[in-house]
Chain A
């Protein structure tokens, strides 16, 4: 009989939806209802576009939801790391025009991957500095957190203007990721497929880390009850710094993805996309990575379906989604259990 031996007690096989199938029912309803008004081929194209958008928002939002869940820190400055990531990635990509301009996936990836690694490394390091200089003095004070992190994003935007200039920068996609793959009326943009793959990889990686490693166990416990984790002998502040750095790095990665998606980057792009990021983490349940993933998919799908069916209400559609979900579940789809 050992802790490593799962036969100590029978472990019932749980369904993939865990103990609560209702959020999955909502997701299925949101995904399938538009079929009433949209041709199946168009619906398939819109669904993939929605998933791609959702995956990119998930990459940007996943770190923020853990930061809030673990320490209750409201970081409006998260958008700065998205903008910075985009500019850092662009700096590398624009210098590798010879690699991005050829129609070769391998050559393009040899440019895109270093750009992403550079953006992730620098935004991660800046996240560490941001946590020490800006966040640490205002732990346990939400009002000050909001004020100083909004101040942080304003300073960051101005720093981007100083370093990269005040103009928006065109960031064309590498040649192999331009255009679309298709069969008849079904057409998928190549870049959106890449975004789906990358977002899914980030989700699987986070899911593995949170559910299969001691670090993930500590993060999940810390989100529920930080003081008890400390009483068990673990330094929750150190854990928080690690999560903050990882969250900032993911925002940087998301910034590169979003920049290539829009093919245009501005210093204010992080702040603009933060509206969607906040909707996603609120809809998913603050502190829940699984909820963030599902919230991001819902937001992406709703934005694309309403953009096609009723473009005039597309901008408000995600606010409507958030209101509807909060009326049903005030703590989001997958609320984190706290003592």
Chain B
């Protein structure tokens, strides 16, 4: 069992008067791709936002690489080595692909070898290097969002529903990219609704419902147990293949 890089213990988060996270417990192991699944409104996006500090935990402990982070500001958490790809991708549409990527390189210089690796992962980024990001297609924007997250080596990458609204061919390309990221040893916490994607890339899985983690285990076990899928997610794997 790999050691937990990130752990959440009894985390509660309120957004306005709404109590969204109601005691989330979770341990994300280092060097693995962990899936975070659940129905709409289960609290997956809020969990990622709470980890990166965009939503503040009202109770509980978040620990990253041994350090408590729940009281820290978002830039400080990010600088510990956490990258975040939000559900809306967070692309700066008025900036070029190059400028979007430059922002993620905090010392202003992108490592050449790393850039070549990213171009190999997502070839459209090389092709559209000087194009304003607002002109990219939905799939290309998602590629840019993920490229930006990995252009410098990060200890943990949080990704929120990368396949939302994308064509199957693009989803296939993203799956290949995630498998390559896994091979590079990256630690990823990936929120996803697409079970085919989850089954293809996930090592471990947490399933959330009503602001809590209701299942934790190996992705392969969940993928093999259709009754469990139906109970936890209200779906059958067959319908999503």
Interface set of A (CB-CB < 8 Å, partner B): 1-3, 6, 8-12, 19, 214, 217-218, 220-221, 224-225, 227-236, 336-337, 339
Q: Which residues of A contact B119 (CB under 8 A)?
A: 1
Interface residues of B in 84-120 (CB under 8 A from A): 84, 86, 88, 90-95, 98-99, 101-106, 108-110, 112, 115-116, 119
- The contact of A3 among B73, B78, B101, by CB within 8 Å, is B101
Q: Which residues of A contact B84 (CB under 8 A)?
A: 231
Q: Which residues of B contact A224 (CB under 8 A)?
A: 92-95
Asked whether B78 lies within 8 Å of A225 as measured between CB atoms, the reply is: no
Residue of B nearest to A19 (CB): B132
Asked whether A233 lies within 8 Å of B90 as measured between CB atoms, the reply is: no
B126: CB under 8 A from chain A? yes
Q: List 10 additional A-B contacts (Cβ < 8 Å) besides A9-B130, A225-B92.
A: A1-B112, A3-B105, A8-B129, A8-B130, A217-B95, A220-B94, A231-B54, A232-B106, A339-B91, A339-B93
Known: A8-B126, A337-B134. A231 touches B93 (CB 8 A): no
CB distance from A16 to the nearest CB of B (A): 16
CB distance from A218 to the nearest CB of B (A): 7
Asked whether A3 lies within 8 Å of B103 as measured between CB atoms, the reply is: no
B236: CB under 8 A from chain A? no
Residue of B nearest to A236 (CB): B75
Interface residues of B in 116-139 (CB under 8 A from A): 116, 119, 126-132, 134
B52: CB under 8 A from chain A? yes
Q: Which residues of A contact B95 (CB under 8 A)?
A: 217, 220-221, 224
CB distance from B54 to the nearest CB of A (A): 6
Residue of B nearest to A238 (CB): B75
Nearest 8 interchain pairs by C-beta = A228-B90, A233-B78, A9-B129, A11-B130, A230-B74, A3-B110, A337-B93, A231-B84
**Cα distance A44–B74 when bound, in Å?**
54
Asked whether A232 lies within 8 Å of B104 as measured between CB atoms, the reply is: yes
**Cα distance A336–B95 when bound, in Å?**
11
Q: Which residues of B contact A11 (CB under 8 A)?
A: 129-130
Asked whether B98 lies within 8 Å of A3 as measured between CB atoms, the reply is: yes
Q: Which residues of A contact B129 (CB under 8 A)?
A: 8-9, 11
Q: Which residues of A contact B101 (CB under 8 A)?
A: 3
Asked whether B78 lies within 8 Å of A220 as measured between CB atoms, the reply is: no
Q: Which residues of A contact B240 (CB under 8 A)?
A: none
Q: Which residues of A contact B106 (CB under 8 A)?
A: 232-233
Task: Kindly name the residue among B90, B91, B99, B102 whose own CB sees the greatest number of chain A CB atoms within 10 A.
Answer: B90
Asked whether A9 lies within 8 Å of B127 as measured between CB atoms, the reply is: yes
- The contact of B73 among A2, A9, A235, by CB within 8 Å, is A235
Asked whether B99 lies within 8 Å of A217 as measured between CB atoms, the reply is: yes
Residue of A nearest to B99 (CB): A217
Asked whether A3 lies within 8 Å of B90 as measured between CB atoms, the reply is: no
**Cα distance A324–B126 when bound, in Å?**
42
**Cα distance A19–B135 when bound, in Å?**
11
Residue of B nearest to A18 (CB): B132
CB distance from A93 to the nearest CB of B (A): 41
Total number of B residues with any Cβ neighbor in A under 8 Å: 41
Residue of B nearest to A218 (CB): B103
* 1/0 contact string of B172-214 vs chain A (CB within 8 Å): 0000000000000000000000000000000000000000000
**Cα distance A9–B115 when bound, in Å?**
13
**Cα distance A6–B132 when bound, in Å?**
14
Asked whether A225 lies within 8 Å of B116 as measured between CB atoms, the reply is: no
CB distance from A117 to the nearest CB of B (A): 30
Known: A231-B74, A337-B94. A6 touches B103 (CB 8 A): no
Q: Which residues of B contact A10 (CB under 8 A)?
A: 130
Q: Which residues of A contact B92 (CB under 8 A)?
A: 220-221, 224-225, 228
- The contact of A217 among B52, B54, B102, B116, by CB within 8 Å, is B102
B79: CB under 8 A from chain A? yes
Q: Which residues of A contact B98 (CB under 8 A)?
A: 3, 8
Q: Which residues of B contact A220 (CB under 8 A)?
A: 92, 94-95
CB distance from A237 to the nearest CB of B (A): 9
CB distance from B141 to the nearest CB of A (A): 11
- The contact of A234 among B75, B91, B130, by CB within 8 Å, is B75
Residue of B nearest to A10 (CB): B130
Asked whether B75 lies within 8 Å of A6 as measured between CB atoms, the reply is: no
Can you give 9 contacting A-B residue pairs, CB < 8 Å? A2-B115, A6-B130, A11-B129, A19-B132, A218-B103, A220-B92, A221-B103, A234-B75, A235-B73
CB distance from B174 to the nearest CB of A (A): 20
Q: Which residues of A contact B88 (CB under 8 A)?
A: 339
Q: Which residues of A contact B116 (CB under 8 A)?
A: 1
Q: Which residues of B contact A6 (CB under 8 A)?
A: 130
Asked whether B90 lies within 8 Å of A231 as measured between CB atoms, the reply is: yes
Known: A1-B116, A9-B128, A225-B92. A231 touches B99 (CB 8 A): no
- The contact of B79 among A1, A12, A227, A233, by CB within 8 Å, is A233
**Cα distance A337–B99 when bound, in Å?**
15
Known: A9-B127, A339-B90. A227 touches B54 (CB 8 A): yes
Residue of B nearest to A230 (CB): B74
- The contact of B126 among A2, A9, A214, A230, by CB within 8 Å, is A9
Q: Which residues of B contact A8 (CB under 8 A)?
A: 98, 126, 129-130
Asked whether A227 lies within 8 Å of B130 as measured between CB atoms, the reply is: no
CB distance from A223 to the nearest CB of B (A): 8
CB distance from B46 to the nearest CB of A (A): 14
